[in-house]
């Protein structure tokens, strides 16, 4: 497939690039400043994502856009929504992004500890982050693009196992961790999963 990847300099983005290369995909990465990537990766430098023409050129004829852009803490909370809106302005046909499990209410079959203790604490501690991700998901839902927003729990730097669980439209119950490598696998796999189109998808290890 021909893929355009945003956020490729981050840990999850790097996994997307690595795994897409292994799959034999044609990859273009979009970065704000020059950076080095593996041979075979086309690098597009777009310093200002308000430059819709440059973004449109970067995603032109791509089968899908994958974005690993997202906040790491409250200090950079308002990142995902503005970046995603800028990408959507370039009219990608297919786009896959990363949200987070606490964006949605916990599923009713989740554990009492998760529903009543753990998730409320996390939600309060990182409220600006989740508000940003909710704005991002709202922008996706209002767009004409075919979108998927993955909602993982806490991400780790573990190795790719190829084993993950998904639940379309809701978070995966009793899940606390997922490796960035397995998240990248799920994102790439979704490109051939029609059930994930125009949906938020819970994902967990």
Q: Do residues 132 and 126 make contact, with C-beta atoms less than 8 angstroms apart? A: no
**pLDDT recorded at residue 78:** 87
* CATH code, 97: 3.40.50.720
**pLDDT recorded at residue 112:** 57
**pLDDT recorded at residue 103:** 83
Interior angle at CA 88, CA 199 and CA 99, nearest 5 = 45
Q: In which domain, by residue range, is 18 found?
A: 2-204
Q: What is the mean pLDDT of each run of 10 residues along the chain (205 residues)?
A: 97 97 98 95 97 97 96 76 98 97 75 59 69 96 98 94 94 88 98 98 96
Q: CA-CA distance, 169 to 200, in Å (whole number)?
A: 5
Domain count, the chain: 1
Q: pTM of this prediction?
A: 0.91
């Amino acid at each position: 497939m021909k893929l355009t990847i945003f956020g490729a300099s981050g840990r999850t983005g790097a996994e997307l690039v690595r795994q897409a290369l292994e799959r034999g995909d044609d990859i273009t990465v979009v970065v704000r400043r020059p950076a080095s990537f593996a041979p075979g990766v086309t690098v597009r430098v777009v310093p200002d994502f308000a430059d819709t023409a440059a973004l449109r050129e970067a995603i032109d004829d791509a089968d899908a856009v994958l974005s690993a852009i997202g906040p790491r803490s409250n200090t950079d909370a308002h990142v995902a929504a503005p970046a995603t809106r800028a990408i959507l302005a370039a009219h990608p046909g297919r786009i896959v992004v990363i949200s987070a499990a606490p964006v949605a209410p916990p599923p009713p079959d989740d554990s009492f500890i998760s529903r009543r203790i753990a998730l409320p604490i996390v939600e309060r501690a990182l409220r600006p982050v989740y508000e940003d991700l909710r704005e991002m998901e709202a922008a996706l839902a209002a767009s004409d693009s075919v979108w998927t927003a993955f909602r993982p729990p806490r991400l780790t730097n573990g190795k790719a196992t190829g084993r993950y669980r998904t639940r379309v439209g809701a978070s995966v119950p009793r899940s606390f961790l997922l490796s960035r490598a397995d998240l990248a696998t799920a994102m790439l796999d979704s490109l051939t999963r029609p059930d994930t189109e125009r949906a938020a998808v819970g994902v967990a290890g």
